Structure 1
């Protein structure tokens, strides 16, 4: 990472006091250990799963298996595994996107778990973005949902035969068999031959947004969350397609009552039913639908408030695993699909799934079902993720620990409070205070905006608390898990509702005595970075500064470099209301408010980012400097979602140093016109 400013001291910040001791061993230790990022089961046998860890420098993979009744985790796989990694149905291959350092635009690559074979799956095809990866349970087909300049596509790739010896399974010790590389390679490309992988073909395409393709157990049917029926509006239907012909088989469409999303096909060959997530009530509820007959069973759970999000389905045992979320608090629930009875599996210990958006999977991490038990992915604000196995809830026995959390310093749990946000709508605020005197306050706003902050481990939050800062995190208009109305609340208003929610959060914190504007800072990534910079311009009296990570700062400038998966979506969202597209871009862009900014700002920007591209960040920095503002930009050589905990620690160190400058009455930039340093790496593709 290089830094764009001049006059840096040994700490990397201009005029900082080099004698100031920043950070304690306690908070730095939070970033030293790799932590569990997710566990993704193999389709043919969920007793085998890909474990993805976030390490100090990058992410990596391991294989979880049940061998002779015991759960074992392999050594680290001998090749890089990104957060998008998926394991084949037979557990022999890991598939992910080769995107040139994190641009999120590239081509799919398959690696055998022993590291012997690396196969480029779509050679010769123009680069694309991934919006879904799935394998048929019969192990014969990989289905990828891809997006390029031509539209949204379902891409089918035949998988090597299960009996192939190309990719050996795990040894009895749980370690992958390490053998000399014997692949046949193209000397020009360095890529192994196809090793049994078939020729990819596009089965279905649309110019309208489509996400998360799924494939039936026998590979004969495909589904996709589509918007052909309602172009430009992110309220999906589930379209089912014949995998051989590409012909439409059936569509499940609940509009105007709400969107429908496919969760998974039945894992039983010949059973073509699909587990759905529906919103007829305005809140998520499970349903099971047979596209071949039209038969549908809805599980309304009228006795529950909030959402009941289906996570997994075991039709052999007639049960659905669902996540109940009421006012942001999680419970794991099993639904008996025959009797309709609900059973609480786990609650009161944190969160059990992490919703994602604009990604390869609907959940970044989640609990799932395996061999009659529940594999519980659990974490809290103070405790890193771990994987538990719950066999029964009736005998009072404790869950078995399958993958333990790393040893980290003791943390502080957070309080959840529902506060009146924009237009009086309740929004959730998480907050905690340090054990000693409060030095200042950090308000975090998540990205997305269709993401959510849950009761999930945050080494960054705990480190701020270690340093004496109160820490709060806001779920605002746009957040998921609070129903359709709040999730779609950002569609109109052009930032007005989000800004009102942020103001309400600071007012609430002020009532608790922990929101002095002279020592309060706002931070966020992606859309949260956008709201960080927007707040500095529209709420200048509330914050002394802002830390914006991969922020959208100027919407009109961004569109020229934005990847194909996002460009049409945002063009539609910004053209939906009473303003024209150009007027909406101006109102939403932080560059429009630089004259009002009084606090300091720092932008952490990826040189390869295609979601919030570099040019628009540079434009904001130039505009704020021209207005006399105090701003820095820190470049890092990666894309929108860099891996590794070291970078998080480096950013936190920089932020603490910058706050020390504020406390000393100094500018972050050191001078009104700091000298720029070169942007690292090649321009984003």
Structure 2
């Protein structure tokens, strides 16, 4: 019997790992937005090597093909976050091209043809209406000369003509045409609400000429969040509502709203993007759906009449999308040992047929850390949730008696959710000897409305307290080094990072990716979709000024004495570069160790392969320099101002 080779003892951060920054950048293909068109399965795939271009793929008769070759970039910026960038029907696809905002049509096998005329108008969430030779879509008009764009639901004719169908609200989403084409359902909401706070579901009749008549409110309001309206094959309207405190499924029939499956589980999620799908119809009598319990996704079959939910066994713990037809069930899903993939699921037996994987060649299991789902006590008697990753590397271990440093991650959003799906960006750290805690702080989705509303008026407080409590919890259990606690986050998670370092003396250093440092500045620079979000997260405008100043790290740099590294896309419209630059200048002037990397051509989130490589390697070098550990061979040097040699 051959003995396993003995592991080499080495300091955290110096372990040799097959998961390089280049592997992180090139190894995971962003997959999104599944669609079914008869027997065909379509999806979007990112191309990091092509400056983050997103392309439309189709699987037909077992063969995959690209439908939108370069330079086409299938992406929309409606609400800035986009989604719902294409539709498919009968072999024809319609899509938004990111470079010019125009809609294009591509007949089966043909070259894309431009439909629309104005580059300053954006479109999303398309629904083909072939009987009237048009698409129904959400439109965002930047031509109007207003402070913010004007949002409507419009019809775009196949000849390029446009007609506004619904207007008057600040925001629209999910226009859905009934199977017989005689009714249109849609969602709308107004400032200051975000869609996960309160939305309205409307239905109108569609005249033969395509105009709408007799619009009527079906459900929703100021304090009820509705998402994903869908019509059954027989023409009954279904939707997801959180009126019970959980996003559950409902049916509208004969003027009455009926709950389908009352359960302390989430059958929907926050509408940051268009086109989300967590359920669909196999028939009038059966829905295939995904739902989240305790932060873990499950798949199930739901009887629309008996309201019986039967679990379907899968290996997944995160199911981001479900698309359903009478013949097919497709999912976009992953687990701690499965990177995101698109697969067909047989709902009768759970058999899985993988169509495409985001990572073709995974590192050996010995280099992958499988997280533990934990709950732990936070401040004021709250319970918080997180995924804990221990260091893992087949070839290396820590020196005897040494505990690993911990990286705490505060997710963005902040109304978002950390999931346990295998991510090379996390394994990059764990395979180098770092422990990681990915926190679902109060305010995260996936745990019901009461948990989500914990962040109401408390952004920069509850999220920070839960991250601090998580680090202390692991240190108290002897799992991590209490003197080497780190925190990192992007966007809203960047604010969490900055507040944790400014207002608490727990973390040694931190990394902010396009993070918020000045709440007032965020209001001043924010795009329309989020321009009133802080009224919920922080305070109504009448009381906001004092609270903004109290919570904005930029006004308390005298209390920030820990080293920081900042990463900022120069084209970011959500958190403009000025936010990071002002913070860096303040730390630089005060003599606090600081590093700052800017990335041209990047917005809110980094898509280019070289951007991912640069930022990951710089962040690793930053932590090692802060800990006084010599940089491994091949890791680029990093300029850190005010850090003693």
Q: TM-score, normalised by structure 2?
A: 0.82
1:285 equivalent in alignment to 2:248: yes
Deviation at 1:635, TM superposition (A): 0.9
Aligned to 2:68: 77
Residues 340 and 64 of structure 1, relative CA distance in 2, 3 Å threshold: same
What does 1:13-28 correspond to in 2, within 5 Å? 24-28=17-21
| CA 470–115 in structure 1, closer or farther in 2 if over 3 Å, else same | farther
Shift in alpha-carbon separation, 1:427–1:59, aligned structure 2, 3 A: farther
Aligned residue number for residue 158 of structure 1: 156
- Pairing 1:577-596 to 2, within 5 Å after superposition: 580-596=543-559
2:388 is equivalent to residue 431 of structure 1: yes
Q: Tell me the distance in 2 between the aligned counterparts of 1:147 and 1:493.
A: 33
Residue in structure 1 matched with residue 469 of structure 2 by the alignment: 504
What does residue 266 of structure 2 align with? 307
Within-5 A mapping of 1:238-277: 238-242=201-205, 244-247=210-213, 249-254=215-220, 259-266=224-231, 268=233, 271-277=234-240
The Cα of 1:120 is off from its aligned counterpart by 5.8
1:385 aligns to what SS in structure 2? strand
How much does 1:651 deviate?
A: 1.3
- 1:400 and 2:392 matched: no
The whole-number CA distance in structure 2 between the counterparts of 1:526 and 1:230 is: 20
Residues 151-202 of structure 1 show CA distances to partners (whole Å, capped at 9, x for unaligned) of 6523323353xxxxxxxxxxxxxxxxxxxxxxxxxxxxxxxxxxxx421232
* Counterparts in 2 of 1:472 and 1:547: CA distance versus 1, 3 Å: same
SS of alignment partner, residue 529 of structure 1: helix
Supply the distance in 1 between the matched residues of 2:344 and 2:88 (Cα, whole angstroms). Answer: 22
Counterpart Cα distance in 2 of 1:229 and 1:555: 18
Give the drift of 1:230: 8.6
Deviation at 1:572, TM superposition (A): 5.9
The more displaced of 258-267 and 226-235 is 226-235
Task: Quote how far apart the aligned CAs of 1:656 are.
Answer: 0.8
How far 1:504 sits from its partner (Å)?
A: 1.4
Q: Could you say which residue in structure 2 is the equivalent of 1:683?
A: none
- Counterpart in the other structure of 1:356: none
Q: Distance in 2 between matches of 1:56 and 1:509?
A: 38
Kindly state the Cα deviation for residue 558 of structure 1 after the two structures are TM-superposed: 2.9
TM-score by length of 1: 0.77
**Residue 131 and residue 75 in structure 1: after superposition, are their counterparts in 2 closer, same or farther (change >3 A)?**
closer
SS of 1:225's equivalent? strand
Matching of residue 623 in structure 1 with residue 586 in structure 2: yes
Paired with 1:471 and 1:136, the residues of 2 have a C-alpha distance of 48
Among 32, 49, 62, the residue aligned to 1:38: 32
Q: Measure the CA separation in 2 of the matches of 1:398 and 1:587.
A: 54
Change (3 A) 1:218 1:434: same
**Distance in structure 1 (CA, Å) of the matches to 2:485 and 2:49:** 29
How far does the alpha carbon of each residue in 1:532-573 deviate from its partner, in whole angstroms, 9 at most, with x for none? 11111012x211211111111112223333222221333565
Pair 1:650 & 2:614 matched: yes
State the distance in 2 between where 1:248 and 1:230 align.
27
- Secondary structure of the 2:498 match is helix
Residues 232 and 287 (structure 1), Cα distance of their counterparts in 2 relative to 1, 3 Å cut: closer
Structure 2: gaps spanning 5 or more residues? 1-12, 76-82, 269-276, 631-636
Please tell me whether the aligned partners of residues 518 and 552 of structure 2 are also in contact (alpha carbons under 8 angstroms): yes
* 2:446 paired with 1:481: yes
Q: Secondary structure at the match of 1:379?
A: strand
Q: Residue 96 of structure 2 contacts residue 124 of structure 2 at CA under 8 Å; is this kept in 1?
A: no
Alignment of 1:44-193 (within 5 A): 45=38, 47-57=40-50, 58-67=52-61, 71-75=62-66, 77-79=68-70, 80-82=72-74, 84=83, 85-96=85-96, 98=98, 107-110=101-104, 112=106, 116-119=111-114, 121-123=116-118, 126=120, 132-136=125-129, 140-146=134-140, 149-150=147-148, 153-160=151-158
State how far apart, in whole Å, the 2-side matches of 1:45 and 1:535 are.
51
| CA–CA separation in structure 2 for the residues paired with 1:76 and 1:199 | 25
Counterpart secondary structure, 2:624: helix
Would the aligned equivalents of 2:497 and 2:512 in 1 still touch at CA under 8 Å?
A: yes
- Aligned residue-pair number: 584
| 1:364-405 deviations in Å (ceiling 9; x for gaps) | xx12213433213221233211222222434xx732222245
The RMSD of aligned alpha carbons is 3.2
The residue that corresponds to 1:537 in the other structure is 502
**1:36/1:640 CA distance change after superposition, 3 Å:** closer
Paired residues of 2:15 and 2:431 also in contact (CA < 8 A): no
SS in 2 for 1:333: strand
Residue 528 of structure 1: how far off its partner (Å): 0.7
Match in the other structure for 1:329: 296
Equivalent residues of 1:625, 1:673 under 8 A apart: no
Contact 2:464–2:497 (Cα < 8 Å) also in 1: no
Name the structure 2 match of 1:203.
165
Shift of 1:517: 4.6
Are residues 599 and 115 of structure 1, via their aligned partners in 2, closer, same or farther at CA, if it must alter by over 3 Å?
A: farther
Distance 1:367 1:54 in 2: 23
Kept in 2: contact 1:373–1:392 (CA 8 A): no
Give the equivalent residue in structure 1 for 2:10: none
Which of 423, 426, 437 in structure 2 is aligned with 1:461?
426
1:224 maps to 2:224: no
Q: Distance in 2 between matches of 1:275 and 1:37?
A: 27
Q: Per the alignment, do residues 371 and 534 of structure 1 end up closer, same or farther by CA in structure 2, a change over 3 Å counting? A: same
- Residue 329 of structure 2, aligned match among 374, 383, 386: 374
Q: For 2:302 and 2:390, how far apart are their aligned partners in 1?
A: 38
Q: Which consecutive unaligned segments of at least 5 residues does structure 1 have? A: 1-19, 101-105, 161-196, 354-365, 675-685
Measured in 1, the distance between the counterparts of 2:156 and 2:150 equals 20
Structure 1 Cα separation of the partners of residues 211 and 67 of structure 2? 40
Match of 1:412 among 369, 372, 390: 369
Identify if the C-alpha distance between structure 1 residues 613 and 673 changes in structure 2 by more than 3 Å, giving closer, same or farther: farther
Q: Which residue of 2 aligns with 1:552?
A: 516
Deviates more, 1:641-650 or 1:277-286: 641-650
Asked if 1 retains the 8 angstrom alpha-carbon contact of 2:124 and 2:137, the reply is no
C-alpha deviation, 1:111, in angstroms: 5.3
Q: 2:560 aligns with which of 573, 597, 601?
A: 597
CA distance in 1, matches of 2:624, 2:136: 52
- 2:312 corresponds in structure 1 to 345
Distance in 1 (alpha carbons) for counterparts of 2:39 and 2:470? 42
Q: Separation in 1 of the partners of 2:193 and 2:361?
A: 49
Is the Cα–Cα contact under 8 Å of residues 445 and 473 in structure 1 kept in the other structure?
A: yes
Which segment is superposed worse, 556-565 or 413-422? 556-565
> What SS class does the counterpart of residue 552 from structure 1 fall into?
coil
